[in-house]
């Protein structure tokens, strides 16, 4: 079965992203076409990128990098849950993406963002990063407003109208993950030879 990682892209104390990620996981877990698991960056503390060689070479020197690479490689596709910080991607999320290269290649990506403007700018920046990592980001995304989807900016209370966008995004991520499977297989065979 296809295995999808839901990456929680914030590690801040008192974050609200965990509520969003559990909402996504709860909805995704009802599906029968893929398995979904939460991948919290708090559980993978990476220092600022400290590899001496570019990730595209795949010659990881540090144990924390090898462990992160093994974790990411185990998934067929991803959904990233991200806040927007200062019109952009959280530093911890960008760092986690920058650590690796081949492990991200040929995998589908769905985006769930939140912030004052729904996290739209963070999502758009993630699309640029995903393109460089040879990921296929899907069109549908879920944009959640801190003003209307959170009580007192801290308790997640999404409107039911978001479920259609979430389901559509999950449909697209699963479909693209399946479509990209031959490319991942070819890449894995090439890496072994």
**Helix and strand totals (H; E) in the chain:** 5, 7
- Domains within the chain, CATH numbers bracketed: 3-192 (3.40.50.360)
Quick one: pLDDT at residue 15?
A: 96
Cα(5)–Cα(109) distance, integer angstroms: 10
CB proximity list for 92: less than 8 A, separation 6 or greater: 9, 10, 11, 41, 46
pTM of the model: 0.95
From residue 26, alpha-carbon distances to 18, 33, 122, 131, 186 in Å are 12, 15, 23, 28, 33
CB proximity list for 178: less than 8 A, separation 6 or greater: 2
pLDDT in tens, 2-38: 999 999 999 999 999 999 999 999 999 999 999 999 9
192 has pLDDT over 70: no
178 has pLDDT over 60: yes
pLDDT in tens, 118-167: 999 999 999 999 999 999 999 999 999 999 999 999 999 999 999 999 99
């Amino acid at each position: 079965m296809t295995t999808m990682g839901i990456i929680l892209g914030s590690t801040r104390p008192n974050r609200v992203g965990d509520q969003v990620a559990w909402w996504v996981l709860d909805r995704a877990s009802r599906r029968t076409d893929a398995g979904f698991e939460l991948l919290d960056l708090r559980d993978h503390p990476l220092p600022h990128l400290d590899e001496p060689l570019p990730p595209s070479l795949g010659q990881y020197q540090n144990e924390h990098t090898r462990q992160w690479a093994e974790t990411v490689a185990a998934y067929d596709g991803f959904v990233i849950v991200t806040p927007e910080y200062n019109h952009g991607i959280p530093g911890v999320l960008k760092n986690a993406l920058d650590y690796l290269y081949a492990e991200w290649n040929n995998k589908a990506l769905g985006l769930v963002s939140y912030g004052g403007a729904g996290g739209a700018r963070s999502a758009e920046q993630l699309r640029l990063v995903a393109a460089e990592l040879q990921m296929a980001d899907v069109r549908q995304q879920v944009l959640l407003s801190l003003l209307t989807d959170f009580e007192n900016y801290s308790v997640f209370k999404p409107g039911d109208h978001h479920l259609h966008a979430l389901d559509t995004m999950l449909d697209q991520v699963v479909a693209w993950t399946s479509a990209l499977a031959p490319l991942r297989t070819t890449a894995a065979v090439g890496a072994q030879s």
